[in-house]
Amino acid sequence: MASLMRQSCLSALRTPLATRNAVGISQVVAFHASARKQILPPLPQTIQGTMNDAAPIPTPHPSEGSYHWTFERLVTVGLIPLTIAPFAAGSLNPVMDAVLCSLLVVHSHVGFQASIIDYFPERRVPKTRTFLNWVLRAFTLTTAVGLYEFETNDVGVTEAIKRVWKA
């Protein structure tokens, strides 16, 4: 009886999410995610080995680990003066614009690649991760070509930002 009372008292606080049946016990609405009826089913899961097996150690590679982290930080720190200089001192030359665009493309690629690595583990969804990596490469190449065309055949990124800012 006490649990029925507690359930009915708690359900009174959740009136927008719950409805009452004939006995007065609240029922959860259809769109509520519960352990019995999940909105999205989990991905396929497999267990490899036993719990006593050691975790596999990946083979070291120069483009991963601390070198990769250092490269990311150098690109990020390099973007700071390249972003400020054209607006503080004027558009100095097209080479600086080209370096800015190149670092922006590399910075974006590395950031999106890290997101793909974090959210789509190769062990669970290898085909999805491979597909997303190829999509990222295609978008990176398209962005690089588009920025190159904009830099060579138009006013350039920093001048375009200045014009939009003053418009």
- Specify the pLDDT at position 130: 96
Q: Which helix (H) or strand (E) covers residue 27, if one does? A: strand 26-28
Which residue has better confidence, 167 or 132?
A: 132
Pairwise CA distance, residues 15 & 10, whole Å:
9
Query: Which residues face 26 on adjacent strands?
Result: 20
SS3 category, 20: strand
pLDDT at site 15: 47
Can you give the residue ranges of every domain in the chain?
68-164
Q: Is 148 marked within a binding site?
A: no
SS3 content of the chain, % helix, strand, coil (to 5): 60, 5, 35
Mean of pLDDT over the chain: 79
Express as a percent the part of the chain with pLDDT over 70. 71
Is 119 annotated to bind ligand?
yes
Q: What would the pLDDT profile of 44-97 be if each residue is shown by its tens digit?
A: 677 777 888 887 787 877 767 778 888 899 999 999 998 888 877 766 678 888
pLDDT at 18 over 60: no
Separation between Cα atoms, residue 106 and residue 115, nearest integer Å: 14
C-alpha R_g of the chain: 27
In the predicted structure, residue 121 carries a pLDDT above the cut 70: yes
For residue 47, the number of C-alpha atoms closer than 13 Å in the C-beta half-sphere is 5
Is the pLDDT confidence value at 142 over 90? yes
Amino acid at 152: T
Q: Residue 28 belongs to what H/E stretch?
A: strand 26-28
Once rounded to an integer, what is the mean pLDDT over residues 122-141? 94
- CATH classification for the domain delimited by 68-164, as one of 1.20.1300.10, 3.90.226.10, 3.30.70.270, 1.10.3470.10: 1.20.1300.10
Q: What's the pLDDT score for residue 1?
A: 52
Q: Is the pLDDT of residue 30 over 70?
A: no
